[in-house]
Amino acid sequence: MHILCLIPVIFTSFVISVAINCSGWAKFNKTSGSFGTWFLCEFAHSQIPPDDSCLMLDDDGFQLNNGILYHVKVLNSKETKCRQNRLGQCFINSKKGLMAERKEFGAIKFYDNKFDVTWFGCSQTYSVSHGLNFSEIKPDLNKCWWTPDKRYFVSKYKHKLHFTDVD
């Protein structure tokens, strides 16, 4: 039963990772093939944008590089002002010198300001809209059975991460 409970969490993380990387389309550098690294806004909620303009980022993020999607986890944050006072599970978006590990998820495809995710035979379309300090990702109306009714608010990390473990 414990594994069955983890499946929606793992899949939601995958959907977030796809969404985070797709929100960088306007900033894509075709010569490097990299969209950079994106993180969830720490103080956003499932339907509510962050009240801090996404200044605080969650320690879990994602990177799209040369058509490959990676999960990124910051390892050395010492931030104490995270949601629910969780030490080191967030960081200020201007913080430099962060170390992270990176694990490959796989290939990804997207188009315009939308992308599709297919899982267990159902394809879900997500829309991406860009704001000044963060981007929003939300599922389109025709929802798959596994699609949470949630909007994701993400921001690009503008500094270099130092990777300790690259797949």
**Tokens 């990777």, located at residue:** 163
Burial class (CB in 10 A: 0-12, 13-18, 19+), 109: exposed
State the pairing for strand pair 162-166/99-107: parallel
Q: Region 131-147: what's the mean pLDDT?
A: 87
CA atoms within 13 A on the CB side of 118: 6
Q: What is the pTM of this model?
A: 0.73
Structural domain harbouring 62 = 2-166
More confident residue, 8 or 60: 60
One-letter amino acid at 138 equals K
Greatest mean pLDDT among 7-11, 42-46, 67-71, 145-149: 42-46
Can you say whether the dihedral through the CA atoms of 156, 125, 73, 49 is positive or negative? positive
Q: What is the pLDDT of residues 140-167, one digit of tens each?
A: 887 888 888 888 899 999 999 999 865 5
Give the count of domains, the chain.
Answer: 1
